[in-house]
Every structure is written in C-alpha cells, then in structure tokens.
C-alpha cells in the first residue's frame, strides 16, 4: 500500500543554507494493508521527518514515496485531495491541532465541507455520532465543547475519529499516546488495532520500545536518519543484531530490577552529509571497525529480519 524507495531528506542550515543536515538517508520500507509498522528510535532519528514526508507536509530531497503505486510527490491538487481522503496523520500534542476559539467538533464540519459537501447536515451529524462511538466517546458528552473543556485523550480520539469518517486506508500516528495517561493510552491503541482489523495500515512513530513491540507487525529501528534493523518485533527484540538495537533494549527500565546506571548516554544528532558513507552509529559503537563499518547495507540475517551491520 505505502512504499518508500531510497528516500532522503536534507535540510539546508547555516548561513544562507551553506550546509546540509542529513535528516533521512536512503530509507526504504513499506506498510502493507492490514499491518502496523513502527518506526522506533531516539529523538533526532528521522522518524517524524518520514511521517511528514508521507503526509507531504514536506518533500523529500530524493527518492520516491508511493501510495497504491502512485508517486505522492507528483500528485496535483486534485489527486492530492483524493490522497488525503485515504491518508491522514495524528500527532503528539492534540491541543496544537485545534483553534481554541472554535469548538473542537469543527474539524468534522471541515471534513464535510472538503470531502462530502453534498451530504445533508442531518445525515452528517449521524455519521459524526457513529464515528465518535467507534473511538469510545459519548457524543452527548463531547460535542459542542471547546478544546479546553476536553481532555487530551478525548481530543486525540476526536482526531482519530476522522479515520472512520473518511474511511482512511493509512494513518500516520506520530507519538500519539506519549502525552496520555496509561489507561487512555490503551483505549487509543485499541483504536489502531481496530483500524488494522478493517484492513487499514498504520505507520506508528514512537520512541517507546514496549509500545512498538506489543502493537506492531514490523519494527523499523532508526538512528540518525538511517535504518539500522527491521523485521518482526519478536525477532528484532528477541535476537537483536545491530549494536544500536541492543543498546536500546538495555536502556529500557523493567519492574524486575532497579536502575544502576552503566549505559552510555551520548546524545545523537542528525548526520552531516559528508558522514553518510559510514555507519551512523560508529561513534558510539563498541564494535566499530573502520573498514567494515563503511557503506553499511541492510542484509537479511534471518527470514524477514534485516540488519545493517557486519556482525550479522
């Protein structure tokens, strides 16, 4: 359904854009219908940049993004509108998605105006009620309220209700539960599972490994814009190949033991263009080898499990 082919994004920074900041480097992945694919990695790994490129909020520097076989970046205004009929995004901070001077359910009427202008108001109201029930909200309690009168979880579910109003095929979910309490997180994650059961796809962007493990059909481990490892979560987390994947797993707190430190905490930043021929993790990797860590290539280490490391 969704395919990224050698997608690269370079931001121009410095005086007069004199320097290139490599945010995403030659990333290839796909999100088949009826699957949840998680992009996992620390801040600055390029996860959100990929999500924005899929939603065409920004354009890639090179590479192709295909949805149902069509290049997203070649779509004109009419085709792009049809694209947004099938592809939507929900982001981390639900409050920033609303204008505080308007009632929160205004987003539903904006959808009607853009995509379903011929639907009678009474019929549309019924569609809205049904969509809200799909995401576990009581329409009588949440409609005609301003954003400040609703909780973060309610506002997030308002945004996800668009999925059912539009019959969305692909949802880009960027850290959508990171600002929610534990009980509300479960309710929102259940909605994503419901979308998958209906044949939709989800690109789930998170830095939380446990969420990625429990929710996903496939995990993509990213570091400084490049894919380090990907495959089924049981394989990637159960038999990690890349040292960065192992590092992430060691850094996850558990209920069985108290934290005693000892894990290096070296902040990563987006790579400069001149560094792209060497593994992004080289500076932090205890297994760095100058010759072997140059031009890392993703190779299949076990069926469906790929890693970009010579130690495979």
Per residue, the 3-state secondary structure of 189-222, as one string, reads HHHHHHHHHCCCEEEEEECCHHHHHHHCCEEEEE
- Bridge-based pairing of strands 201-206 and 271-272 is unpaired
What does residue 123 show for φ and ψ, rounded to 5 degrees? Answer: -65, -40
Q: Which has the closest alpha carbon to 242: 299, 304, 204?
A: 299
Per-residue pLDDT at 59: 93
Per-residue pLDDT at 225: 87
Interior angle at CA 203, CA 27 and CA 255, nearest 5: 105
Q: How many helices (H) and strands (E) does the chain have?
A: 10, 13
For residue 126, the SS3 value is helix
Per-residue pLDDT at 270: 52
For residue 243, the SS3 value is helix
Per-residue pLDDT at 260: 62
Per-residue pLDDT at 30: 92
How many residues would you count in the chain?
Answer: 312
Per-residue pLDDT at 309: 86
Per-residue pLDDT at 170: 92
Contacts of 15 (CB under 8 A, 6+ apart): none
Domain boundary assignment for the chain: 2-253+265-307
* Displacement of CA 193 from its chain's centroid (Å): 15
What does the alpha-carbon distance between residue 153 and residue 164 come to, in Å, rounded to a whole number?
17
Q: According to the CATH classification, is domain 2-253+265-307 in 3.40.50.720?
A: no
Could you read off the pLDDT tens digit of each residue along the chain, which spans 312 residues?
Answer: 899 999 999 988 777 767 778 889 899 999 999 999 999 988 888 899 999 999 999 999 999 999 998 999 998 888 888 898 889 888 877 788 888 899 888 888 888 888 888 889 899 899 999 888 888 888 888 888 998 998 888 888 888 888 888 878 899 988 887 766 776 677 778 888 888 888 889 999 988 888 888 889 999 999 988 899 999 999 999 899 998 898 888 777 666 666 666 555 454 455 555 566 788 888 788 888 877 888 888 888 888 899 988 877
Per-residue pLDDT at 49: 93
Per-residue pLDDT at 267: 46
């Amino acid at each position: 359904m969704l395919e990224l082919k050698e997608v690269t994004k370079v931001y121009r920074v410095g005086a007069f854009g004199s320097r290139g900041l490599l945010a995403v480097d030659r990333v290839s992945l796909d999100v088949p219908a009826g699957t949840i694919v998680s992009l996992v990695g620390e801040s600055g790994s390029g996860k959100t940049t990929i999500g924005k490129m899929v939603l065409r909020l920004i354009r890639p520097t090179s590479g192709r993004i295909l949805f149902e076989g069509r290049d997203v970046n070649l779509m004109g205004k009419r085709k792009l509108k049809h694209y947004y009929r099938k592809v939507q995004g929900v982001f981390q901070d639900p409050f920033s998605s609303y204008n505080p001077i308007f009632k929160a359910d205004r987003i539903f009427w904006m959808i009607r105006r853009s995509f379903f202008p011929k639907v009678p108001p009474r019929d549309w109201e019924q569609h809205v009620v049904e969509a809200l029930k799909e995401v576990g909200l009581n329409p009588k309690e949440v409609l005609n309220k301003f954003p400040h009168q609703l909780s973060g979880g309610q506002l997030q579910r308002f945004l996800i209700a668009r999925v059912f109003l539009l019959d969305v095929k692909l949802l880009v979910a960027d850290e959508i539960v990171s600002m929610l309490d534990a009980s509300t997180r479960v309710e929102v994650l259940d909605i994503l599972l419901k979308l998958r059961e209906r044949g939709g796809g989800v690109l789930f962007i998170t830095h939380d490994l446990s969420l990625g493990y429990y929710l996903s059909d496939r995990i993509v481990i990213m570091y400084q814009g490049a894919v380090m490892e990907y495959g089924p979560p049981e394989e990637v987390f159960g038999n990690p190949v890349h040292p960065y994947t192992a590092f992430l797993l060691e850094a996850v707190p558990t209920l069985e033991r108290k934290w005693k430190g000892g894990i290096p905490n070296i902040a990563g930043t987006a790579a400069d263009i001149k560094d792209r021929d060497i593994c992004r993790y080289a500076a932090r990797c205890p297994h760095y080898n100058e010759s072997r860590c140059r031009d890392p290539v993703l190779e299949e280490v076990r069926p469906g499990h790929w890693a970009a490391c010579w130690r495979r």
